[in-house]
Chain A
Amino acid sequence: MNVSAKAEEILESLWIATEEQGEDAASFERLRIVPDDEGLAELVGLAFIEVNGEWVKLRKEGRDEARMTVRRHRLAERLMMDILDIKGITGDERACEFEHLLHHGVDTKICTLLNHPTTCPHGKPIPPGDCCDQARQEGEVGVVALTELKPGEKGEIAYLAATDVSKMQKLMSMGVLPGCDILLTRTYPSYIFKVGHSEFAVDGELAREIFVRKV
């Protein structure tokens, strides 16, 4: 189900007001809309909301959509912060634009990429999606930095976070490549891991840039 960007904004504010702040309904003023708003009409048509005078109420039918809208917004915020490194007001604005693109399973992919985060950068909860529940059931931790592994744990290299191109190039030419199996053997005083039959030592800073899918 895809609703318009305008309608998504309304659902999002409505969810925050009713589900998170425990109110029964939200006013037009709070939702920053006027009575003949297009998004409002769209949502009424879908029977997602009820309008009572100046007050808007979220219906049971609209709950799922609202929940997922909030989820997409907060995932977008995390993506801006953690991966794209866009912070502050710019980050928030970009996230607002970006969230409307996270349909058709894109949100699931991003959620997995971010390793199923539970809170947004402002500390508010991210409603879990199916992918999160599934990951939890399978006891999967998803993709983590090498520093999160314990000595003796194995994984598969998922990706290298490229902050220093020449260092990454070095790791790649030594054969530390996505898709390789990796075995962490020691974490102190430096990280020691095995790829194939070779052993490497890296410091914590570099280990944090090797992301591993635990197996």
Chain B
Amino acid sequence: MQNQLKTEKKIILVGNPNVGKSVVFNSMTGSYTTVSNYPGTSVEVSRGQCQIAGESYQVLDTPGMYSMLPITEEERVARRILLEESPHVVLHVIDARNLERMLPMTLQLIEAGLPVILLINIMDEAERIGMQIDIQLLQEKLQIPVVGGAIGRAKRGLWELRDAIRDFTGNRATFVYATDLEKDIQEISNLMQGDYILDKRSLTLMLLQRDEEIAQRVKDREGEHYESVENAVNDTIFARRVDLHLRISLERKRICKGLLDGVITQQENEQFSFADRFSNWTMNPWTGIPLLLIVLYLGLYQFVGGFGAGTIVDFLEGSIFEEYLNPWVIGLCNQYIPWYWLNELLVGEYGLFTLGVRYAVAIILPIVGTFFIAFAVIEDSGYFPRLAMLVDRVFKKIGLNGRAVIPMVLGFGCDTMATVVTRTLESTRERIIATLLLALAIPCSAQMGVILGLLSGVPGALMVWTVSMIGVFLLVGFLSAQVVPGERPMFYMEIPPMRLPQLQNVMIKTLTRMQWYFMEIFPLFMIASVLLWAGKLTGALQWLVEAFNPVMRVLGLPNEASAAFIFGFFRRDFGAAGLYDLQTQGLLDPVQLTVAAVTLTLFVPCVAQFLVMQKERGWRTSLVIFFLVTGMAFTVGWSLNKFLLMTGILA
């Protein structure tokens, strides 16, 4: 299998974010894809298979990139794939409406000597705003295959694309820059003697724009010869005395203008569509904030909380497990397994099946699954960039920028996954602050489902809990923005047009995320069950719970709550579920319930999140966050208890 993969021809998809690249990928490969980290990096790359005219191709979907000069980690990975994978076809996907803006990157790919096919996607939207594109003419001018399509709309253009790949001969086109720039390129590229995958022209341009990674690669390849290359580069940069980034960008823009002359005809019938109007509503604070609340209410509260955590969990947990599976498995074990310890391990109080499997499958999966559906719908509609711009000012106060809203919202689904996603933030400072806030004040969906259920019975408790969470989130964010060193973040983001999410794409995204979640989290459930089981048998658990009793008394909670906190570390929702048991037994009054819920939500993240924190941020930072969060949780719990008792709220 591994060998077969190696000999397959590779098709690499590249392009800006928001050009429908993943839709193209999914339509080409069907739903069977694997998502994995690109070797040696933390960025995910999807791979799939595709058959064209009897031949099998491997298709790679790269992270969005704006140019061959990377700024973010994702762009670096996308470029590295181009540098290392030796593709049969590089499929550059661009948005028809923004042809002029995105074509310079096509030039960069061509100039790098890559085998480029250009797919002009989203033609339907372009036509709607009165743009006509002469694909044939563009193909003649560019001298590479150009396909027009709207893959998201009934897969228009998909067959033409497959034909183009089948007939692809790997013709390379050339184009020239202004004379002085050409002269510089010639001079430097002639000095390079090594063999490279990318064309030397393109390497020269990247050297002139001071790209460190490329400089390193050229240095490795040229050896002692590199010094003359480096000198020539420095001489040229000095001799030109202009910003070469700008110069080269403008030069490419000029060439594109020439290429597109006669290709695009624009009729001025740009109408203000409903999508545009809706888009404006989302960005105006007066209408945007109510809309956000509606999205949160429908998406999180109703769909995830009501449907996922309510209807589906009741069905799976209450009916399937409690009535059918559990009695059957327990009966089976009792019949065939005489040893007490093994029986306990499998179907006891903390048994692998009765606790681990039941929790993972019947409670967590539906909640997380529905959350991921809601998240994918919101993501594909293009709402997140609008939300990001809306919250940017507030987020600046807590040391983040609007972009961080995406990991934060994802945190409401799974904090562990969200901690991984903080990589997309640009500075270490933002990543640390975001990790801390996720660990402290963002409850994950599993936990939230239980907490909502827990507090909804007590009037006012939910309000106190919400206010406490928002307060702690803002306060800790504000303080850490003062303390954590580093540059102030800047905010810039492309606002893609609002789109109706495509069902297939939403489903594939959800499935991929659920698959990840299950692979990462399921083993931890099992480990947690084993640890709790061992703790129970050896008495260590009892000891730990008792050791925690004084802390509970300080918070004004009954001793029985200790267990919930200890379990909370293994799974955040175990803890919340523990409280649920206490409440049904009538051991908690409203104040105690609220204090316990707040403290538990703030309290240390689950084992999985801690492990990911350690992996992403290192021991030092993750331990500091761990102790900070623990301290904060109990301080806030203690103060809240005093405050509630003093003011008589909830009494």
Q: Which residues of A contact B (CB under 8 A)?
A: 160, 162, 164-175, 177-179, 185-186, 188-190, 192, 195-203, 205-206
Contacts and interface: CB of A to CB of B under 8 A. Distances in A.
Contact of B69 (A171, A173, A175, A189): A173
Interface of B: 66-67, 69, 71, 97-98, 100-102, 104-105, 129, 243, 245-246, 249-250, 253, 280, 283-285, 385, 388-390, 392-393, 396, 401-402, 488, 490-497
Contacts of A198: 97-98, 101, 494-495
Given A166-B71, A190-B402, A200-B495, A175 B285 contact: no
B491 A189 contact: no
A13 to B, nearest CB: 35
A177 B66 contact: no
Contact of B491 (A160, A168, A171, A202): A202
Given A170-B66, A174-B101, A190 B389 contact: yes
Nearest to A202: B492
Contacts, number: 109
Given A175-B101, A190-B402, A192-B389, A201 B495 contact: yes
A175 B71 contact: no
Contact of B492 (A167, A177, A186, A196): A167
Contacts of A164: 490
Given A190-B402, A197-B97, A203 B246 contact: no
B330 to A, nearest CB: 56
A201 B385 contact: yes
A188 B285 contact: yes
A22 B628 CA distance: 69
A160 B101 CA distance: 17
Nearest to B75: A173
A175 B102 contact: yes
Contacts of A205: 488, 490
Given A186-B283, A197-B98, A201-B385, A192 B495 contact: yes
| Interface of chain A, main secondary structure | mixed
A169 B69 contact: yes
Contact of A203 (B280, B390, B492): B492
Question: Which residue of A167, A170, A200, A203 has the most chain B CB atoms within 10 A of its CB atom?
Answer: A203
Contacts of B69: 169, 173
10 contacts: A175-B101, A190-B389, A192-B283, A192-B495, A196-B98, A199-B496, A200-B493, A201-B389, A203-B396, A206-B490
A162 B243 contact: yes
A186 B284 CA distance: 8
A189 B303 CA distance: 29
A201 B285 contact: no
A130 B497 CA distance: 46
A206 B285 contact: no
Question: Which residue of A160, A166, A186, A190 has the most chain B CB atoms within 10 A of its CB atom?
Answer: A190
A200 B385 CA distance: 9
A160 B245 CA distance: 12
Contacts of A166: 71
B66 A173 contact: yes
Given A186-B284, A201-B388, 4 more contacts: A167-B490, A175-B100, A175-B102, A185-B280
B101 A201 contact: no
B16 to A, nearest CB: 8
Given A197-B97, A199-B495, A177 B283 contact: no
Given A190-B393, A198-B98, A206 B491 contact: yes
Contact of B249 (A172, A189, A199): A172
Contact of A178 (B67, B246, B285, B402): B246
Contact of B101 (A168, A192, A196): A196
Given A189-B389, A190-B392, A190-B393, A199 B494 contact: yes
Nearest to A165: B245
A168 B392 CA distance: 19
A171 B67 CA distance: 11
A205 B487 CA distance: 13
A169 B246 CA distance: 8
